[in-house]
Structure 1
Amino acid sequence: MHEPQTGKIKLLHYYYWHKKQAFQFEEDIYTHWVVFAVQQGRFRYKLGMGEEGEAVNGDWIICPPRTPFRREVVHPLSFFYWGFEWSSPPSSLPLGKLIFADQERLASAYRYLQQLYALPPEQAMLWRNRFIQELWDGYVLQQLLPESGHRVHGDSLMLSARRKLQAQAFQQSLSMRVLADEMELSPVQFTRRFKAAFDCSPSEFVRQLRLDQGKRLLMESTLTVDQIAQECGYENGFYFSRVFSLHMAMSPSEYRRAHRL
């Protein structure tokens, strides 16, 4: 059995736009392959007479050469544009939306890509090619691995919501209603859709992140319970202690005594 060809990318063009309000052209046709890699925001797209949909944080939209690419910004869009060729084509040519399972790796690569302007142009382009190639290889690998462990859930909007919750979990200003509004969903629709994707509600997901943060700080720091509550996104130590005791079957102080090294 032959090893499938993952494909080798030759980067031609690279740009980054921050919070773009609208595209200059509603439709464009490129002579090379193109990726729109969304870092923040949301846009609608249609490729030729075929695939159409919406892309959000973490999605890639891949458009082949000579294919009409229609697009419309829904929420201010921060994204990478990559024009490229295949120096060796993959076994199965990609088209349309790609959803990545390893969002942490994707976010890390995006941070490095944004810092490469500090390097000389030719050197920066070589490193961009390396990062993009590694991300593509990671996507191909995720498709080859067993479904249960490594393929990502298909609801990219909820994946975007989960990333936002992870980023804002420890902020007291976190609002589920505001997040639902950003996704053009009612709070009830948001909760149902998130639970269908991840087997827990958005509130349960945030609560677990806060409890995990609280446990870590109780074990590793000398912060008071009131200070830990603030670090975890709770208004005061009393409320944090009540939530912690309810779900951990012991108070924060008892947990600290039992688990301090």
Structure 2
Amino acid sequence: MMTFRSSVLSPTLLHHVFWNHKEKFQYSVDTYEHWVLFAVEGGSFRYGIGNSEGIAQMGDVIICPPGIDFHREVIHAASFHFIGFSLDSLSGGLGNEGQEDEHNVRLRLAASAYKPAVTHKERLADNLRYFKGQDEAAAQIDQRIYWQNHALNDIWLFCLQSIAAGSVNEDMQPADPLMEQAQLYIRHNAFEDMSMLVLADELGISPVQLTRRFTRSAGMTPSRYLSHIRLEQAKSLLVDTELNLEEIALACGFNNGFYLSRVFTKMMKISPSAYRKTNRV
């Protein structure tokens, strides 16, 4: 197995943009002068980097080295963090040792189709929250950037650990057509009163088999997948409409506004009202 000294290299944040429900990329192909990381929170898009192709969806991280064409096409309106960063040796710059490590990272990323397997999805979500801060007083900007760099380094670390261990991402695993059908069913019925028991019956498998196979295929349980889709819709309605919480809850498949508020606050670490206030332009 190829190894590299992951501690030698450290990312430094250059810029960050969060795109919410982006329906189309401005450019279908782009090439960056620095490293870029796409962390997907919702929706999906096709991508091609070098000789690799794949699909990025919620919970995925795509890393593209500098100087390589990045092809992309939105499948479902995508919400993602676009993070640009430099990659340097902790001793400063990239000497011969650092260049060798960067070369090894590039090779490993290519082997993983530029999508390291993210086994720490909750940890990833926690780190990404540091990138969602709004305008702050000048005195707080340095502190926010410090914590964003800390979060970026943690994301980079577990991505390196994944590719160093030879973890295989879902694009390199045999597809599970039945679970692809399950994902499609959930997406089409997410805003209705749906039951996982009914879904399992429709697929001809037990609820336990559904949970195990779906988790193996999508990286999360079917219930979590459903909640994520509903919350993405709730986030969109909070920002783009004047609907009250009860109306949004019913439009997203939740029983009532109180339950939506409880789930939203638990998963997003912010209340719906606070999210609406901070995300409106």
TM-score where L is the length of structure 1: 0.56
Residue 133 of structure 1 aligns to a residue whose secondary structure is helix
Counterpart contact for 2:211–2:222, Cα < 8 Å: no
Residue 43 of structure 2 aligns with which residue? Answer: 41
Counterpart contact for 2:47–2:71, Cα < 8 Å: yes
Runs of 5+ unmatched residues, structure 2: 90-97, 224-252, 256-281
Residue 81 of structure 1 aligns with which residue? Answer: 82
Q: Does 1:24 align with 2:26?
A: yes
| Cα distance, 1:26–1:189 mapped onto 2, change above 3 Å | farther
Kindly report which structure 2 residues correspond to 1:211-222, keeping only aligned pairs within 5 A, or say none.
none
Residue 65 of structure 1 aligns with which residue? Answer: 66
| Cα distance, 1:129–1:103 mapped onto 2, change above 3 Å | same
Counterpart contact for 2:64–2:70, Cα < 8 Å: yes
Letter in 1 for 2:74: V
Letter in 1 for 2:147: W
Q: Does 1:97 align with 2:115?
A: yes
Offset of residue 144 of structure 1: 5.6
Letter in 1 for 2:71: R
Q: Which moved more, 1:122-131 or 1:27-36?
A: 122-131
Offset of residue 21 of structure 1: 0.8
Letter in 2 for 1:102: H
CA distance in 2, matches of 1:175, 1:19: 26
CA distance in 2, matches of 1:193, 1:67: 39
CA distance in 2, matches of 1:190, 1:32: 47
Residue 5 of structure 1 aligns with which residue? Answer: 6
Offset of residue 173 of structure 1: 2.9
Offset of residue 199 of structure 1: 7.4
CA distance in 1, matches of 2:194, 2:210: 19
CA distance in 1, matches of 2:204, 2:18: 33
Offset of residue 8 of structure 1: 0.5
CA distance in 1, matches of 2:129, 2:215: 27
Instruction: Tell me the percent identity.
Output: 33
Offset of residue 86 of structure 1: 0.8
| Cα distance, 1:75–1:114 mapped onto 2, change above 3 Å | same
Counterpart contact for 1:9–1:84, Cα < 8 Å: yes
Residue 154 of structure 1 aligns with which residue? Answer: 170
Runs of 5+ unmatched residues, structure 1: 180-186, 207-232, 236-261
| Cα distance, 1:133–1:21 mapped onto 2, change above 3 Å | same
Counterpart contact for 1:58–1:103, Cα < 8 Å: yes
**Partner residue of 2:17 out of 15, 24, 49:** 15
Offset of residue 126 of structure 1: 2.2
Counterpart contact for 1:116–1:124, Cα < 8 Å: no
Letter in 2 for 1:115: G
| Cα distance, 1:54–1:194 mapped onto 2, change above 3 Å | farther
CA distance in 1, matches of 2:72, 2:156: 23
CA distance in 2, matches of 1:118, 1:174: 42
Q: Does 1:135 align with 2:155?
A: yes
Offset of residue 98 of structure 1: 1.8
CA distance in 2, matches of 1:141, 1:78: 25
Residue 93 of structure 1 aligns to a residue whose secondary structure is helix
Counterpart contact for 1:35–1:61, Cα < 8 Å: yes
